[in-house]
């Protein structure tokens, strides 16, 4: 039973994380679709791709910084 609770908690956490309004995630796609519906104009795919790549780079940078901090805290 504890394994099922842990698996369910992990699944819910990943699902909520994926809905964050950040371009590489599904929440970012929802934001883009909402903006397109409000303005009634398509956002050029080139702009969406550029924003997604930049946001993905920032996300990777954040993961690297957090990992380095965790390693430093573990060692020292």
Quote the pLDDT of residue 76.
82
Tell me if 17 sits within 8 A of 24, measured CB to CB.
no
Asked if the model's pLDDT at residue 66 lies above 90, the reply is yes
Model confidence, pTM: 0.67
- Residue pLDDT, tens place only, 8-39: 999 999 888 888 888 888 888 889 999 999 99
For residues 28 and 30, give the distance between their C-alpha atoms in angstroms, rounded to a whole number: 5
Report pLDDT for 53.
92
Could you tell me what percentage of the chain is helix, strand and coil, using 3-state DSSP and rounding each to the nearest 5?
80, 0, 20
Domain locations in the chain as residue ranges: 2-75
């Amino acid at each position: 039973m504890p394994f099922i609770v842990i698996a369910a908690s992990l699944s819910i956490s990943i699902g909520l994380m994926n809905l964050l309004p950040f371009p590489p995630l599904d929440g970012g796609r929802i934001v883009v679709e909402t903006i397109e519906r409000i303005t009634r104009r398509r956002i050029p795919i080139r702009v969406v791709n550029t924003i997604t790549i930049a946001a993905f780079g920032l996300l990777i940078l954040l993961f690297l910084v957090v990992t380095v901090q965790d390693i430093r805290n573990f060692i020292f």
